[in-house]
Amino acid sequence: MKKAKMIVSKDFTIGRTNERLFGSFVEHMGSVVYNGIYEPGHATADEDGFRHDVLELVKALNLSVIRYPGGNFSSGYNWEDGIGPKELRIPKTDIAWRAIEPNTFGLNEFMKWIGLVGADPIMTVNLGTRGIEEARDIIEYCNFSGGTYWSDLRKSHGIKTPHHIKTWCLGNELDGEWQVARKTADNYGLLACETAKAMKWIDPTIELVAVGSSTRQMPTFPEWDKTVLTHTYDHVEYLSLHNYIGKREADTPTYLAMPMDMEKQIQEVIATCDYVKSKKRSNKTMQLSFDEWNVWREPDIEYTPWQIGSPYDWVKFHMEDALVFGSAMLTILKHADRITIACQSLLVNTIPLILTEKGGKAWRNPTYYPFEHVSRYGRGEVLRTLVDSPKYDTSSYSDVPIVDSVAVYNEEKEELTVFAINRSDEPIVLEMDIRDFNQYTIKEHIVLKHESLHAVNTADQPLEVHPGQCQDTMLSDGRATSRLDKYSWNVIRFHMGL
């Protein structure tokens, strides 16, 4: 049996995970909102129309932040359409996704729902069809205490206390030709800079995210990022990056290696940020907001345009997708020193963690479990481990480690967690030197696996793919040995004491 080795020490660290790394994304897209988190008349819906079967699954993820309302949707959205008495709100066309937007779920409904979840909001302003004035008005409505038109309007809507939204995205993917009112880098950079100034003049405590290149495949990458940062560096705290890893026609070994491209993207964006930092002679280090990331495969339901809540990219992810998804999460953790915001995209029904049926059941996609595990056990100090793993090559990738892993140390809880993925079609032994964690014992070894990489969860078989406990880790004299099953996601937890 093949072996991989890992050395883990408290003294060699990458960085402490920011609470906002464990986030997701709710966009007015497909059935994410309508017939997803919000479905008046559903058997589990409360008086506000929030589905509580979905809410309970969301709460179990222990999300720290949720981005809203888009995404592409935000570039053509008038936020004022979704506030005030529902009976006075007017349905409109959403040209981003070719849907009817009824506006029965808007800003205040989202804030009430996210309060039930227990997460913090990240709000996106429209810098596509709108600009400085809209951004100034929405932050006055949300964060100003009172005595002005917009803050008093909020109070008249029953929201006496300001929302105090801390984090704001200055638009979304505005370099993309698919985007409503796309911009050149200079046009966007100037607009984002002036918008940032206006928003911070109203609330100096907020933090802002500038739009980076939509994908690494854009012909302007990373020139767009450099130009945007040249305009905005002194006025924003984050630059965004997005990545969707698509199965398409790839074979399994190639698909499992694709997070290596995500690693290159992160390194290149960091290099671009640091170039602008040096060019400006700045003392500020730009942080990254990976506010859209996920895996993607062909949807299971054909989209019907110009409907309310028609499923878009509604897909039952496979066991195979859960492994790639987990590897993407580990890639983000490996850069905890620079990535301080991350939002899985999207939460419900669109390439989701959670699937629903209109009027029916809600259940977990297989990708739900790696996210839940990292959200529960991945908070702490990410350690800089030394790993020696067998490798493989494909037609597109070379030197792909069979074992992808990350170790996280939570000093407060006196816990060490090793996340490990076996990318191969046979078991492998992972030998871990954890002698630096004297007196630690094995707490548990969780494994997510299935005999078929094409296994999915359905409404009738919601636990076809689900994690379980195993006894495949042994520890003696500070050396742990774990057997990692073929094509498996593993969470190996150690703690102080018996």
275-291 pLDDT tens trace: 999 999 999 999 999 99
- Tell me the CATH number for domain 18-377: 3.20.20.80
**Cα gap 303→319, rounded to integer Å:** 24
> Which pLDDT value is given to residue 497?
76
Select from 287, 385, 412 the least CA-distant residue to 330. 385
- Range list for CATH 2.60.40.1180 in the chain: 2-10+383-496
**Cα gap 493→437, rounded to integer Å:** 12
- Tell me the CATH number for domain 2-10+383-496: 2.60.40.1180
User: DSSP letter string over 358-419?
Assistant: TTS-EEE-TTHHHHHHHHHH--SEEE--EEE--EE--SS-SSEESEEEEEEEETTTTEEEEE
Is the Cβ–Cβ distance between 380 and 61 less than 8 Å? no
Start-end of H helices in 248-295:
252-257, 259-279
Q: What angle do CA 64, 247, 225 make, to 5 degrees?
A: 60
**Cα gap 56→37, rounded to integer Å:** 11
**Cα gap 487→344, rounded to integer Å:** 22
Beta bridge partners of residue 430, listed in sequence order: 4, 482
- Range list for CATH 3.20.20.80 in the chain: 18-377
CA distances to 33, 248, 257, 487 from 253, in Å: 35, 13, 6, 10
Three-state DSSP at 265 gives: helix
Nearest-Å Rg of the Cα atoms of the chain is: 23
Is the Cβ–Cβ distance between 408 and 417 less than 8 Å? yes
Is the Cβ–Cβ distance between 438 and 413 less than 8 Å? no
**Cα gap 134→140, rounded to integer Å:** 10
Sheet holding 386-388, edge to edge: 386-388, 2-7, 428-433, 479-484, 473-476
> Which pLDDT value is given to residue 137?
98
Cβ contacts of 496 within 8 Å, gap of 6 or more? 414, 415, 439, 440, 441
Block residue for tokens 């890992």: 6
Six token digits for residue 329: 């999460």
Select from 23, 13, 30, 28 the least CA-distant residue to 305. 30
Q: How many CB atoms lie within 10 A of CB 468?
A: 9
Select from 80, 26, 72, 73 the least CA-distant residue to 51. 26
Six token digits for residue 348: 């419900």
User: For the segment 363-400, what is each residue's pLDDT rounded down to a tens digit?
Assistant: 999 999 999 999 999 999 999 999 999 999 999 999 99
Q: Which residues are catalytic?
A: 173, 292
- In single-letter form, the type of residue at position 374 comes to V
Is the Cβ–Cβ distance between 254 and 205 less than 8 Å? no
Give the β-pairing of 2-7 and 362-364: unpaired
**In which residue ranges of the chain is pLDDT below 70?**
498
User: For the segment 138-171, what is each residue's pLDDT rounded down to a tens digit?
Assistant: 999 999 999 999 999 999 999 999 999 999 999 9
**Cα gap 92→76, rounded to integer Å:** 11
